[in-house]
């Protein structure tokens, strides 16, 4: 868990409250609330979770429990261009590991980390279902198919601005 | 005339959106926009050759189409009636172009029931679904049968749950129908988590109404007025198409109050998953829908007694639902005439891995693995040797050459040490190390274990560590015994389906590839050359001409040698990345 304290601006707090309200502050809708909140903020730091918990009338521990249970939710901000390497079985047998190693080597980050300038973050995901294009890499929403370790540099160069 | 463009995730990733736009502008430029319709459909299945474009009425099947090919197709095919040969599928055996998909090896043995509309209709247009007998089944059920009669049809058809377990669907509905409650729920499990499986996604993207209609029929049978679809947040396109479909069905009065004036009411809502494999287990799925951590609970009580919000709930998988309407319309006898004695109908498989024709296929139960891999799948990529096929995802096992001729059905796969699972089928060749494959699946299970019960949380971690030790060449014969014993304990004691099946990849590889384990443990060798710790890169001084290509490309400068003299690798520095082998033009470097 990150120890950097996030100061929420009043309008951000209002935004979270609005999201909760759109689900009638119903604790049963916690996962939907978190989906929308993460959509608005990019990630779910502890301070955001506290507001959600207060609005839905449940303990923060419960919100934290849900956030940490599901891999879709993150408590760390993602990079400007989030990179996800598919490590599903089809991509694995077609060499996804080598592609991942190449990203790690060039970006000098581990899986789950962001580059110091916040430009790229590196993650793994399990199967986007484009197995015909294995191995697959996603940068943001863009899908790159049949990626080879040699092609990693070209992908990153597309985002060199 | 119609031009159908595949809009599945794979083809869209290869810019099928741009292809549609290009076709539209080309047609408009030729004043043909009113005569030729361009439709983005669901998945055609032949992902290997995507993006796919099909021209009707002559059923011409174009493969690997690029946006810039649209002009030629319009000019030649649409206007002059001449097929564009270079874009037709080339039969690899006969070296002939095939224009009709019916004559392609990939499609010849397929029977499409669950996928009947995928690749035929525009999934975002309810009228096209209705034109292909859509919403007739619910009409027939509501006006001709009472709930029990409908359940009897499903029971008689022999339909079994396609999510993996193979529980008889009609029986499941009957149990839920007999439990009395003021509210009941129909849940569609679209939390397709098996890596390498994308059947459910293709059905939802290509034919969302078939699932909505079948859920209504289920609601009528069990006495539920509410349906919920639990879908992965990772499937944005499927979510979008479902939302469109639900809105259209409501507009047509096919969802909502008093459907078709029969007094029956049913509506469907979406619930989103958030990336947890265990949520495919029905009790975990229900907890997740309630906004909780997706942890499974002991059964009984079964969801049919106490499920979502404590009410009787019937959970079926997407593909199961996709089979329901054809059964109602064509009859139980028709359905049960397909398949084997205990497994009726068809099964959709996602064929992937080291195979020529990657894609989505639907085949009758009872077909053999050999037919699937070598006829439909077109054999192994790059002429390599077939080694294993993994079915059932992290819960299944690896089958080998000796299993190629058994008829595929629920029971035969279990007897062979694997399982049907949701339908992922990953083919592996001689270059895949089976110990590493087992380790890969255990890594997945360890990550996805919810942690509630000790056998799964701790046991799988220990299994992973043992496998890791073996792939590093540090394993002992005792470790092999330990692997087997621990696997059995986990199977017997874990709380839910995830834990109870998680050791299957270990057990099946131990059974079928024991010699490979022995090679790792006794000879400290990885026969497939995959396990880095057991590999040593060496340069053959006879073959090396000293071109320096390897040394220049070595990322850690482990290779030294003078120009035009044999080089050598310092194994202490070498990180075994393989860059040198790729660059060597003289085949002088090998793995020992």
> In this predicted model, what pLDDT tens digit does every residue of B237-292 receive, in sequence order?
899 999 999 999 999 999 999 999 999 999 999 999 998 999 999 999 999 999 99
Chain B interface disruption, residue of A93, A97, A124, most B CBs within 10 A: A93
Q: What angle do CA B183, B185, B191 make, to 5 degrees?
A: 155
| Choice among A94-103, B194-203, B377-386, B542-551 with the minimum mean pLDDT | B194-203
**What residues 570-589 of chain B have any CB closer than 8 A to a CB of chain A?**
577-578
Say if residue B518 is preceded by a cis peptide, omega within 30 of 0: no
Is 50 exceeded by the pLDDT of residue B51?
A: yes
C-beta separation of B171 from B155 below 8 A? yes
Gap between the Cα atoms of B43 and B54, Å rounded? 12
* B chain contacts of residue A26, beta-carbon cutoff 8 Å: 291
Contacts of B529 (CB under 8 A, 6+ apart): B431, B433, B535, B591
C-beta separation of A2 from A49 below 8 A? no
For residue B333, the model assigns a pLDDT of 98
Strand partners, B343: none
B106 CB within 8 Å of a chain A CB: no
3-state secondary structure of B569: strand
Whether A127 sits inside 8 A of B196 (CB atoms) is: yes
For range A32-55, the mean pLDDT: 95
Residue of B nearest to A65 (CA): B293
C-beta separation of A101 from A62 below 8 A? no
Say if residue A135 is preceded by a cis peptide, omega within 30 of 0: yes
Give the pLDDT confidence of B88-139 residue by residue, as tens digits.
Answer: 999 988 899 999 998 999 999 999 999 999 999 999 999 999 999 999 999 9
For residue A159, the model assigns a pLDDT of 93
Smallest CA–CA distance, residue B324 to chain A, in Å, is 24
Whether A31 sits inside 8 A of B353 (CB atoms) is: no
Whether A134 sits inside 8 A of B50 (CB atoms) is: no
B41 CB within 8 Å of a chain A CB: no
Gap between the Cα atoms of B91 and B82, Å rounded? 20
CATH of B346-429, one of 3.10.20.600, 3.40.630.30, 3.30.470.20, 3.60.15.10: 3.10.20.600
Smallest CA–CA distance, residue B275 to chain A, in Å, is 5
- pLDDT classification of B14: cutoffs 50, 70, 90: confident
Chain B interface disruption, residue of A90, A100, A101, A153, most B CBs within 10 A: A90
- pLDDT classification of A132: cutoffs 50, 70, 90: confident
B44 CB within 8 Å of a chain A CB: no
Gap between the Cα atoms of B109 and B366, Å rounded? 12
C-beta separation of A103 from A122 below 8 A? yes
**What residues 304-343 of chain B have any CB closer than 8 A to a CB of chain A?**
none
For range B508-528, the mean pLDDT: 95
For residue A3, the model assigns a pLDDT of 52
Gap between the Cα atoms of B340 and B425, Å rounded? 20
Contacts of B28 (CB under 8 A, 6+ apart): none
For residue B359, the model assigns a pLDDT of 92
- Strand ranges, E, within B235-308: 256-259, 264-272
For residue B453, the model assigns a pLDDT of 96
Strand B346-353 with B424-429, pairing: parallel
B51 CB within 8 Å of a chain A CB: no
Q: Could you say which DSSP state residue B145 is in?
A: -
Chain B interface disruption, residue of A131, A134, A152, most B CBs within 10 A: A131
Question: Is the CATH code 3.40.640.10 the one for domain B536-591?
Answer: no
Chain A interface disruption, residue of B6, B7, B12, B13, most A CBs within 10 A: B13
Whether B195 sits inside 8 A of A88 (CB atoms) is: yes
* A chain contacts of residue B274, beta-carbon cutoff 8 Å: 31, 34-35, 70-73
Whether B294 sits inside 8 A of A101 (CB atoms) is: no
B48 CB within 8 Å of a chain A CB: yes
For residue A140, the model assigns a pLDDT of 87
Whether B274 sits inside 8 A of A136 (CB atoms) is: no
Gap between the Cα atoms of B227 and B165, Å rounded? 22
Q: Please, what's the largest Cα pairwise distance for chain A?
A: 52
Whether A34 sits inside 8 A of B555 (CB atoms) is: no
Give the pLDDT confidence of B148-173 residue by residue, as tens digits.
Answer: 999 999 999 999 999 888 999 999 99
Smallest CA–CA distance, residue B497 to chain A, in Å, is 18
Three-state secondary structure of B82-130:
CCCHHHEEEECCCCEEECEHHHCHHHHCCCCCCCCCCCCCCCCCHHHHH
Chain A interface disruption, residue of B234, B291, B578, most A CBs within 10 A: B291
Give the pLDDT confidence of B405-430 residue by residue, as tens digits.
Answer: 999 999 999 999 899 988 999 999 99
Q: What is B434-521's CATH number?
A: 1.20.1440.230
Gap between the Cα atoms of B212 and B244, Å rounded? 12
A112 CB within 8 Å of a chain B CB: no
**Ordered DSSP codes for B478-542:** HHHHHHHHHHHHHHHH-SSHHHHHTTHHHHHHHHH-HHHHHHHHTS---TTS--GGG--EEE-TT
B226 CB within 8 Å of a chain A CB: no
**Mean pLDDT across chain B:** 94
Between A and B, how many CB-CB pairs are < 8 A?
129
B469 HSE (CA, 13 A, CB side): 17
Gap between the Cα atoms of B7 and A130, Å rounded? 12
Give the pLDDT confidence of B560-581 residue by residue, as tens digits.
Answer: 999 999 999 998 889 888 889 8
Q: Is B272 exposed, middle or buried (0-12, 13-18, 19+ CB in 10 A)?
A: buried
Helical H runs in chain A?
10-22, 30-41, 46-56, 60-69, 89-93, 96-107, 151-157
Whether A89 sits inside 8 A of B195 (CB atoms) is: yes
Q: What angle do CA B327, B331, B332 make, to 5 degrees?
A: 80
From the centroid of its chain, how far is CA B565?
A: 51
Gap between the Cα atoms of B520 and B465, Å rounded? 15
Q: Please, what's the largest Cα pairwise distance for chain B?
A: 89
**What residues 266-305 of chain B have any CB closer than 8 A to a CB of chain A?**
271-277, 288, 290-294
Angstrom CA distances, B536 to B67, B530, B543, stand at 46, 11, 17
* B chain contacts of residue A31, beta-carbon cutoff 8 Å: 271-272, 274, 288, 291
| Within this chain, domains B2-105 and B346-429 share the same CATH topology | no
Q: What is the CATH T-level fold of the domain B126-335, as seen in this structure?
A: Rossmann fold (3.40.50)
Smallest CA–CA distance, residue A116 to chain B, in Å, is 23
CB atoms within 10 A of CB A26: 13
**Residue tagged 């608005």 (tokens):** A40
C-beta separation of B269 from A23 below 8 A? no
Which residue among B235, B291, B578 sits closest to A28, beta carbon to beta carbon? B291
Domain boundaries, chain B: 2-105, 126-335, 346-429, 434-521, 536-591
Whether B9 sits inside 8 A of A130 (CB atoms) is: yes
Residue of B nearest to A33 (CA): B291
What are phi and psi for residue B394, nearest 5 degrees? -65, -10
For residue A130, the model assigns a pLDDT of 82
Q: How would you list the strands of the sheet with A142-144, edge to edge?
A: A120-125, A81-86, A137-139, A142-144
A143 CB within 8 Å of a chain B CB: yes
| Choice among B24-38, B516-530, B569-583 with the minimum mean pLDDT | B569-583
CB atoms within 10 A of CB B470: 25
CB atoms within 10 A of CB B126: 23
Give the pLDDT confidence of A54-90 residue by residue, as tens digits.
Answer: 999 999 999 999 999 998 899 988 889 999 999 888 8
Whether B276 sits inside 8 A of A90 (CB atoms) is: no
Smallest CA–CA distance, residue A48 to chain B, in Å, is 17
Give the pLDDT confidence of B319-364 residue by residue, as tens digits.
Answer: 999 999 999 999 999 999 999 999 999 999 999 999 999 999 999 9
Gap between the Cα atoms of B90 and B87, Å rounded? 9
- Strand ranges, E, within B292-419: 313-317, 346-353, 359-364, 386-391, 397-400
B390 CB within 8 Å of a chain A CB: yes
Rg of the Cα atoms in chain B: 26
For residue A4, the model assigns a pLDDT of 62
Q: What is B2-105's CATH number?
A: 3.40.30.10
* A chain contacts of residue B51, beta-carbon cutoff 8 Å: none
CB atoms within 10 A of CB B431: 15
3-state secondary structure of B188: strand
Which residue among A34, A69, A131 sits closest to B358, beta carbon to beta carbon? A131
Whether A90 sits inside 8 A of B352 (CB atoms) is: yes
**What residues 23-52 of chain A have any CB closer than 8 A to a CB of chain B?**
26-32, 34-35
Gap between the Cα atoms of A131 and B350, Å rounded? 9
For residue B412, the model assigns a pLDDT of 95
3-state secondary structure of B235: coil
For range B196-207, the mean pLDDT: 91
Q: Could you say which DSSP state residue A40 is in?
A: H
């Amino acid at each position: 868990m990150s120890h950097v304290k996030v100061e929420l601006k009043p309008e951000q707090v209002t935004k979270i409250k609005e999201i909760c309200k759109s689900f009638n502050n119903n604790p049963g809708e916690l996962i939907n609330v978190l989906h929308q909140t993460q959509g608005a903020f990019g990630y779910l730091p502890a301070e955001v979770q506290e507001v959600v918990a207060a609005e839905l009338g449940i303990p923060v521990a419960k919100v934290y429990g849900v956030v940490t249970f599901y891999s879709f939710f993150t408590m760390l901000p993602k990079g400007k261009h989030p990179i996800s390497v598919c490590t599903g079985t089809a991509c694995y047998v077609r060499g996804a590991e080598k592609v991942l190693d190449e990203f790690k080597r060039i970006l000098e980050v581990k899986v789950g980390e962001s580059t110091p300038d916040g430009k790229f973050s590196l993650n793994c995901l399990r199967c986007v279902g484009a197995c015909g294009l294995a191995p697959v890499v996603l940068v943001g929403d863009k899908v790159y198919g049949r990626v080879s370790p040699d092609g990693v540099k070209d992908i990153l160069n597309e985002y060199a601005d | 005339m119609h031009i159908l463009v595949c809009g599945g995730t794979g083809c869209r990733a290869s810019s099928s959106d741009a292809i549609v736009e290009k076709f539209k502008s080309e047609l408009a430029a030729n004043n043909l926009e009113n005569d030729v319709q361009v439709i983005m459909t669901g998945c055609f299945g032949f992902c290997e050759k995507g993006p796919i474009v099909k021209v009707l009425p002559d059923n011409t099947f174009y493969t690997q189409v690029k946006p810039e090919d649209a002009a030629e197709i319009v000019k030649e095919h649409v206007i002059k009636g001449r097929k564009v040969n270079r874009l037709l599928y080339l039969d690899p055996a006969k070296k002939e172009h095939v224009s009709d998909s019916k004559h392609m090896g990939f499609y010849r043995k397929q029977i499409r029931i669950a996928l009947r509309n995928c690749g035929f209709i525009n999934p975002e247009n309810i009228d096209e679904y209705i034109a292909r007998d859509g919403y007739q089944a619910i009409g027939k059920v509501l006006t001709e049968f009472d709930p029990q009669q409908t359940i009897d049809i499903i029971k008689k058809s022999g339909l079994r749950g396609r999510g993996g377990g193979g529980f008889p669907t009609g029986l499941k509905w009957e149990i839920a129908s007999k439990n009395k409650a003021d509210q009941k729920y129909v849940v569609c499990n679209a939390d397709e988590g098996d890596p390498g499986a994308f059947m459910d996604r293709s059905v939802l993207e290509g034919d969302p109404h078939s699932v909505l209609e079948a859920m209504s029929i289920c609601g009528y049978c069990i006495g539920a007025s509410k349906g919920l679809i639990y879908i992965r947040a990772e499937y944005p396109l499927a979510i979008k198409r479902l939302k469109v479909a639900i809105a259209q069905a409501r507009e047509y009065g096919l969802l909502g109050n008093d459907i078709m004036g029969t007094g029956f009411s049913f509506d469907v809502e979406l619930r989103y998953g958030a990336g947890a494999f265990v949520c495919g287990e029905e009790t975990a799925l229900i907890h997740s829908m309630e906004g909780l951590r997706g942890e499974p609970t002991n059964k009984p009580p079964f969801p049919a007694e106490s499920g979502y919000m404590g009410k009787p709930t019937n959970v079926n998988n997407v593909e199961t639902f996709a089979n329901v309407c054809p059964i109602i319309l064509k009859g139980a006898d028709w359905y049960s005439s397909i398949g084997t004695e205990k497994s009726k109908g068809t099964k959709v498989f996602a064929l992937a891995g080291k195979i020529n024709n990657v894609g989505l296929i639907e085949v009758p139960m009872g077909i053999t693995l050999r037919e699937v891999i070598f006829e439909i799948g077109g054999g192994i990529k790059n002429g390599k040797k077939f080694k294993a096929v993994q079915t059932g995802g992290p819960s299944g096992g690896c089958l080998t050459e000796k299993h190629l001729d058994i008829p595929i059905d629920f029971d035969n796969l279990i007897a062979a040490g694997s399982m049907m699972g949701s339908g992922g089928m990953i083919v592996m060749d001689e270059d895949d190390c089976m110990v590493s494959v087992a380790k890969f699946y255990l890594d997945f299970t360890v990550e996805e274990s919810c942690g509630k019960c000790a056998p799964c949380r701790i046991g799988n971690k220990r299994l992973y560590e043992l496998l890791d030790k073996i792939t590093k060449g540090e394993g002992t014969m005792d470790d092999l015994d330990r692997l087997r014993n621990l696997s059995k304990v986990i199977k017997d004691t874990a709380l839910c389906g995830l834990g109870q099946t998680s050791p299957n990849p270990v057990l099946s590889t131990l059974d079928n590839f024991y010699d490979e384990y022995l090679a790792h443990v006794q000879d400290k060798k990885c026969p497939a050359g995959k396990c880095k710790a057991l590999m040593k890169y060496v340069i053959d001084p006879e073959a090396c001409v000293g071109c320096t290509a390897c040394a220049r490309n070595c990322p850690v400068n482990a290779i030294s040698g003078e120009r035009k003299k044999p080089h050598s690798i310092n194994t202490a520095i070498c990180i075994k990345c393989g860059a040198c082998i790729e660059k060597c033009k003289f085949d002088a470097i090998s793995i020992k």
